Every structure is written in structure tokens, then in C-alpha cells.
Amino acid sequence: GESVGLHLPTLSVQEGDNSIINCAYSNSASDYFIWYKQESGKGPQFIIDIRSNMDKRQGQRVTVLLNKTVKHLSLQIAATQPGDSAVYFCAETPRGNQGGKLIFGQGTELSVKP
Amino acid sequence: DAGITQSPRHKVTETGTPVTLRCHQTENHRYMYWYRQDPGHGLRLIHYSYGVKDTDKGEVSDGYSVSRSKTEDFLLTLESATSSQTSVYFCAINRDRGLSKGTEAFFGQGTRLTVV
């Protein structure tokens, strides 16, 4: 079946360094992708999204890159801070998906060392 | 968080008992969702609703039913709880972020359910 998956389950970075979290998706018909951050004991929180007609989108300290050729999505966090420690999920919405239902990847845990 | 309230936040129940989880929203959104989150599986859609009395199945709907009698409330029922339904359950709404910005699934704080 269709799936969204992450390459690395855990990522440890030094405070101040840049972080890159990767995601592979299998449904080439997906046209909308979102990155979520989930802190312990809380629900997922929207970070940034990107549509399939774009290759790159920037937010505050975060950048999402979409490579449709290899069906790969990445989240870049600049100057990683201790508050960035969390589990990060990518999610996709296939084109024509009624109601905006999301298909989630398994998540990557980001740990920031002071 | 603002806009969505899940209740209860924690529950322990026995196998075979019925359990109902409630999701309440204050923003009048049309779409509401129930997801479950388990280690190694991320979040998986159980059921969703696209209006009052309008619901549909998600990826893992077996053993669950839902009801939406009014816009603000979306109930998830486990008719006869099993240990495999021990999980963290999240309710979500679709929040429109404006033209061309798409919509964002906005999540509640979650309900931790343990079936013993």
C-alpha cells in the first residue's frame, strides 16, 4: 500500500548546528505535504507545508525541500535549539483525497545536545 | 490547545467494556478526525467526519464507531475494548489557513487509553 516513511528514527545534533530530517513517500499522486513537530505529551503541531508545484519553501528557521523525482521530502532546521527537541513527522495528502486526510510517516526523534 | 478539547485525557478500562472518547471544538470546522498513535506506526486515521451525521472510515476503523450529532462534538466509541486498542488517541480538525495556503490538521492534546 501507499506509505510515507522516514529514513532515520533518531537524530542527535549539537545546539547551534543545522538539522536535516528526511522523509520518503511512495504516492506520486500526493500533492500536499506537511511537517509536524510533536513534543512529549502533546499533539502534533504544524511546522510548515509545501505543495507539489513547489520545490522549496522557507519559514522561520525551517526550510522544506521537495524532490518529486525521487519522492523525497526534507525538513531543515537552522541553528537548532534545545526547544527543537521533539519527534518530527512528515505527512502527505494524495491528490483527490476527500477531506484532507493525512498519511503520516513513522517519525524521527530529534535530540539537541547543549 | 485552543479550539479542541479531548476528554478524558487518561483512561484505564477493562477488556470487553465500552469506552467513549469525546472531542469538542469551538471553531465550527466541518472536518474532524480521530487518529491513533502507536510506537512504530506514527498516526493512523480511524474515522473522520465531514459534517453533522456524515462520517467515513479511515485506515484502521475495525472495532471503532463514531458519531457526530452536532458540529462541535465528535465521539469515538470502542464497543468492546481490547488490549490492541491501548493507544494514544488524537482528535484533529481541518483549519483553513487561507487561499493558496492549504489547510492544516490541528490536533488536540490526546487521550491515553489503556485496556487491561
**pLDDT at residue B99 greater than cutoff 90:** no
DSSP classification of residue B31: -
- Contact (Cβ atoms closer than 8 angstroms) between residue B106 and residue B32: no
Residue A7 pLDDT: 46
The tens place of each residue's pLDDT in chain A, 114 residues long, gives 344 554 448 999 999 999 999 999 878 888 889 999 999 889 999 999 999 999 999 999 999 999 999 999 999 999 999 999 999 999 998 776 666 678 888 889 999 998
CA–CA min distance B62, chain A (Å): 18
Backbone φ, ψ for residue B45 (5° rounding): -75, 130
CATH architecture of A4-113: Sandwich (2.60)
Which of B41, B94, B104 minimises the CB distance to A106? B41
Among A39, A51, A101, most B C-beta atoms within 10 A, so best to mutate, is: A101
- CA B57, distance to chain mean position in Å, is 12
**Residues 10-69 of chain A whose Cβ lies under 8 A from any Cβ of chain B:** 32, 34, 41-46, 49, 51
Residue B103 pLDDT: 65
CA–CA min distance B68, chain A (Å): 16
- The Cα–Cα gap between A105 and A35 comes to 10
Residue A56 pLDDT: 96
Enumerate domains of chain B plus CATH numbers: 4-115 (2.60.40.10)
Residues of chain B with pLDDT > 90: what percent?
75
CA–CA min distance A44, chain B (Å): 6
- The Cα–Cα gap between A114 and A112 comes to 6
b/e map of B10-32 (b: 16 or more CB within 10 Å)? ebebeeeeebebebbbeeebebb
Residue A28 pLDDT: 83
Residue A94 pLDDT: 77
Domain ranges of chain A: 4-113
Q: Which residues of B touch A98 (CB under 8 A)?
A: 50, 56
**pLDDT at residue B101 greater than cutoff 70:** no
- The Cα–Cα gap between B80 and A82 comes to 42
| Tens-place pLDDT, residues B48-67 | 999 999 999 998 999 999 99
